[in-house]
Amino acid sequence: GYLSSSNEIGGEHVDFPFVSFEDISTATNNFSDSKQIGSGGFGKVYKGILQGDNEVAIKRLSKGSGQGIQEFRNEIILIAKLQHKNLVRLLGCCIFGDERLLIYEYLPNKSLDAFLFGMCRLLIHITSFRLAKMISQITNDNILRVLFIFGDDTRQYVLDWPTRFQIIKGVARGLLYLHQDSRLTIIHRDLKPSNILLDSEMTPKISDFGMARIFGGNKQEAKTTRVVGTYGYMSPEYVMGGAFSVKSDTYSFGVLLLEIVSGLKITSSQLVENFVSLTTYV
């Protein structure tokens, strides 16, 4: 079926594939913990299989979150109008009682932060010359044991330089589409490694548009009293004064770029203590 109720989508008419709650519950084994693949500020994400053996990622909004409901509506309105290879594809949604769910394409390599800062980082370091001698002293059984611990679906890749460059270019293309090439000017407002998902070819896809804002006409910037996003990735003028524009996303992209190139979490508390500013760090 199709979701076309303007009452459900904040007064705006949107035709969008609707998936029944029963089908989603079946696809996730009644939202089994074994199907959970992630969690965020507004809920949990599950892996499921819908009609046609299609693997999907299902984002279940936390119940009772009025703020989350607004982000849910915002995400549907926005992504229903966007099509780009470097943006995550929204396949459908579900509104059932107080349940709000979004169905996305499933991306097997999860998010970029898992490769930069998560357990995948061990495999990245294994490629370095300094650790090569250490690896030579480890038995094959131990190596297999380590690889088993870190999983087998996302760990087949390491972030070599061509892959890092591919990710940087892909995110830049996605941002350019949002800012200039789509018929709407869209400010993401929460660009960070955990919101960059990776497909089987390590192609990056920008996700999570719950915080995004649309600019119409010749509007170039706006101000808000409700600052949302992730500290460390937000531009100073946005954090201190609530002013945001395409430049805000560009600042976030710059921080992301530093993290991809360095392999360090620029926003970690340790770096905040040791460095006065990003320019000092660089």
Out of 141, 190, 199, 208, the active site residue is 190
Instruction: Report residue 224 CA to chain centroid gap.
Output: 23
What three-state secondary structure class fits 92? strand
Bridge partners, 120 (sequence order) = none
Q: Residue 192, annotated ligand binder?
A: no
**Residues ≥6 apart with Cβ < 8 Å to 197:** 88, 107, 109, 110, 111, 112, 204, 205, 207
Q: How far apart are CA 64 and CA 78, in angstroms?
A: 23
33 has catalytic annotation: no
DSSP at 88: P
Helical (H) or strand (E) element with 252: helix 246-262
What three-state secondary structure class fits 17? strand
Instruction: Report residue 222 CA to chain centroid gap.
Output: 24
CA atoms within 13 A on the CB side of 91: 17
Structure-block tokens of residue 264? 């360090």
Angle (nearest 5°) at CA 198 between 85 and 185: 40
Annotated binding site: 59
Annotated binding site for ATP: 59
Catalytic residues: 190
